[in-house]
Amino acid sequence: MVTTDQLRALFPDEAELEVYAPPSPIDQRDILLDGELKRWTGATVPVRSAICVRKPDGALEQINLGSYPTTGIPEAMEALAAAVEAYDDGRGEWPTMAVAQRIDCMQEFTRLMIESRSTIVNLIMWEIGKSLTDSEKEFDRTVEFMRATIAALKELDNSNSRFLVVEGTIGQIRRTPLGVVLCMGPYNYPLNETFATLIPAMIMGNTVVFKPPTFGVLLFKPLLEAFQKAFPPGVINTVYGSGEKIVPVLLESGKINVLTLIGSSRVADHLKKMHPKVNRLRAILGLDAKNAAIVLPDADMSLAVKECVAGALSFNGQRCTALKMLIVHRDIINDFVSRLVAEVQKLKIGMPWEKGVTITPLPDLGKVEHMTRLVEDAKLKGARILNKGGGTACGTLFAPAVIYPVKENMRLYREEQFGPIVPVMSFNDVETALEYVITSEHGQQVSIFSENPETIGKLVDPLVNQVCRVNVNCQCQRGPDVFPFTGRKDSAEGTLSVTDALRSFSIRSMIAAKQTEDSKRILDKIVRDHDSNFINTGFIF
C-alpha cells in the first residue's frame, strides 16, 4: 500500500538534486517572427517542472525550469501578418517553391533537430514528467515520422509528375497548399503530436503560426534556431501566452485558413465559430476520447489484463488513446479485477529517470486535484478504490486508482480522466457494452478481448461504424504512424497518418488545356525550360 510519505520520499531531496542534473533554468525570450529571433523584453510566464524537490522541512516544490514570453494580441497579430506575408496569397517563395526544394529545407531542419536530441529529450522529461525512455521514444518516433513524411511526399509528387489526357483535355494535377495554418499541439506529446500536424502543414507549402502547448514550451527553444536556419522568413512564426486571449483574435481575423489543434472538442468547437467565414476554414483536429475495453468471458485473461494495464496507465494514462473505461463481463469480473489490481500494484511509481518506472509526476498540481475530485465523486456515489493506496496523492504524484463499480451517475462514467485512474464496470449482455460505445460523445477507438472468432466478428461489424479503430486483443494506440489516426463524433476531424496528413494540409489543383498543337507546344516548352514549378515532369529521387 502506498502512503503519502512514501510518495513524498520518491521526489529528490533538495541537497541531492544536482545528482539528477536538472536543466539550468532557461529564460526563453526569443520569438521567431518573419525569420528573425526577436528578443522579448516584456513579462514572462514561469515554467515549473512536473518534478518537485523535497525541502529540508519535507515540503515539496516544483522545480524552476525558467520562463517564456507572455506575448499578447499585438504580438499574435504580428506573427499572423508574417505568415500572411510569407504566403502572399499563394505567390510567396515557400508556396511556389519546387517540392524538391521544400524537401531539402525539411531535411536540413531534421538534421539540425537531431543535433539537439539530448537537450530536447531532457526537456520533455523535466517539463512534463515523461519517463526518460518514453521521452527518447517520442523524439525518435518524431524524426522517423519526419523521414516517412518526406518519403511519402516524394512518392506523391512523383506520381503526379505527368500529364493526363482525357477527352481531349490535357491536365496535370498536383496537391497545393491551403494558406496560413494555426498550429497548436498538446502537452502529453508536446513534440510528436505537434509535429504530426506542423511538419505536413509546412512541407505542403503552407505558412504557420505556431503556439506551443501549455506544458512543454522550453523544449522548442533549440528548434527555434533550426526553424530559422532551415526555412525562408515567415514560414513559421511563434506565439506564446494565453491561448484563450490570442487564439480567438487570430481566428476572428479571417486570415487563418487551417486550424489544427490537438485538444478539447469544447475549445475546437468554440474556435471554429470565431472565423468570419467558417466555410473557408479547414480544421484538422485531434480531440477528446474515452476509449473502452470490452472484455468478454472467453478472453485470454492474462493478455487482457496486461493490455488493459498498459492501455490505461502508460504515461500515467495521459494519452488520448488510453483505455479510459474497462467494461468486463460479469462472469469474469472478480477474477479480472483481482488480477488487474495485482498488476497495477506492481507498477513502479517514481521519477522519470528511474529504470522501469511507469507512474511519474503529473505536470501540475491542478491535474492531481482533478484526479482526486474524480475519485471522490465516484466514492461518494458508491464506487470503491480496489487497490490499496490507490488515489493517494503527494505533490505532483498520484498513485493509480482502480475504481469499481463505475456507474452512469458518476463523472468517471463519461468524463475523460486523462490521468492514472482505471474505471471498471461490468456487463451481463454484450448489448450493454455496445450501448456504452454508441451513446458516448466520443468515437476514437475501442479494444475487444475474446478468443472466439465468431464473437469478435459479430462485435467488430457494429463497432467499426462507431469508432475508427477496433483493436482485437490489444490496447488502443495511434501507431504505427502510417495507419489512419482519426475519430468520429467529438474525437476528431480530419485524418492524420503519414500520407493522410499530406492530404489534410493541401488541396488538389490542376492545369488544364485543350489537346491542340498549340497547347502541346506551350506545355512542352514550359517543361523543357523549367518555366514552372507546378507544371513539370521531373522525378524527385
Cβ burial of 374 (10 Å; 0-12, 13-18, 19+) is buried
157 contributes a contact to ligand G3H by CB under 6 A: no
User: What are the φ/ψ torsions at residue 454 (nearest 5 degrees)?
Assistant: -65, -45
Report the residue from 261, 320, 323, 375 that binds ligand G3H according to the rule CB under 6 A. Answer: 320
Stretch that binds ligand G3H, among 88-96, 170-178, 464-472, 477-485 (CB under 6 A): 477-485
Based on the shown chain and the rule CB under 6 A, indicate whether residue 46 belongs to the binding site for ligand G3H.
Answer: no
Where does 98-187 have alpha helices with state H? Answer: 99-115, 117-128, 132-159
HEC per residue, 401-416 = EEEECCCCCCHHHHCC
Q: Does 193 bind ligand G3H (CB under 6 A)?
A: yes
When the beta carbons of 193 and 493 are compared against ligand G3H, the nearer one is: 193
Three-class DSSP category at 110: helix
Stretch of 32-40, 299-307, 319-327, 345-353 contacting ligand G3H, by CB under 6 A: 319-327
Single out the segment in contact with ligand G3H by CB under 6 A; choices: 13-21, 25-33, 253-261, 472-480.
472-480
Q: 129-166 burial, b if ≥16 CB within 10 A, otherwise e?
A: bbbbebbbebbebbbebbebbbebbbebbeebbebeee
- Which of 171, 276, 479, 480 is in the footprint of ligand G3H by CB under 6 A? 479
Q: Report the nearest approach of ligand G3H to the CB of residue 262 (Å).
A: 7
Q: Shortest gap between Cβ of 266 and ligand G3H (angstroms)?
A: 17
C-alpha cell at 195: 509535429
Report if residue 477 touches ligand G3H, rule: CB under 6 A: yes
Query: Does residue 478 interact with ligand G3H by CB under 6 A?
Result: yes
Stretch that binds ligand G3H, among 226-234, 341-349, 474-482, 531-539 (CB under 6 A): 474-482
Is residue 212 reached through a cis peptide bond, with omega within 30 degrees of 0 on the bond before it?
A: no
Task: Please identify, using beta-carbon distances, which residue of 172 and 491 lies nearer to ligand G3H.
Answer: 491
Residue 188 engages ligand G3H in binding (rule: CB under 6 A): yes
Q: Is 189 in the site for ligand G3H (CB under 6 A)?
A: yes
Tell me: does residue 480 bind ligand G3H (CB under 6 A): no
Distance from C-alpha of 323 to C-alpha of 447, rounded to nearest angstrom: 8
Alpha-carbon span 418 to 185, nearest angstrom: 16
Gap between the Cα atoms of 218 and 213, Å rounded = 10
Instruction: Express the helix, strand and coil content of the chain in percent, nearest 5 each.
Output: 45, 25, 35
Q: What is the DSSP letter of 477?
A: -
Question: Does 290 help bind ligand G3H (rule: CB under 6 A)?
Answer: no
Rounded to whole angstroms, what are the CA distances from 128 to 39, 459, 534? 26, 38, 43
**Region binding ligand G3H by CB under 6 A among candidate stretches 147-155, 188-196, 272-280, 466-474:** 188-196
Binder to ligand G3H among 237, 321, 486, 536 (CB under 6 A)?
Answer: 321
Region of 341-349, 421-429, 433-441, 473-481 interacting with ligand G3H (CB under 6 A): 473-481
Q: Give whichever of 322 and 433 is closer to ligand G3H, judged by the CB atom.
A: 322
Shortest gap between Cβ of 314 and ligand G3H (angstroms)? 7
The amino acid that residue 134 corresponds to is D
Region of 200-208, 223-231, 313-321, 347-355 interacting with ligand G3H (CB under 6 A) = 313-321
370 contributes a contact to ligand G3H by CB under 6 A: no
φ, ψ for residue 240, nearest 5 deg = -130, 180
State the pairing for strand pair 164-166/169-176.
antiparallel
Choice between 366 and 479, CB closer to ligand G3H = 479
CA distance 327 to 427: 7
- Using rule CB under 6 A, residue 195 touches ligand G3H: no
Nearer of residues 404 and 418 to ligand G3H, judged by Cβ: 418
- Which residues lie near ligand G3H (CB under 6 A)? 188-189, 193, 319-321, 477-479
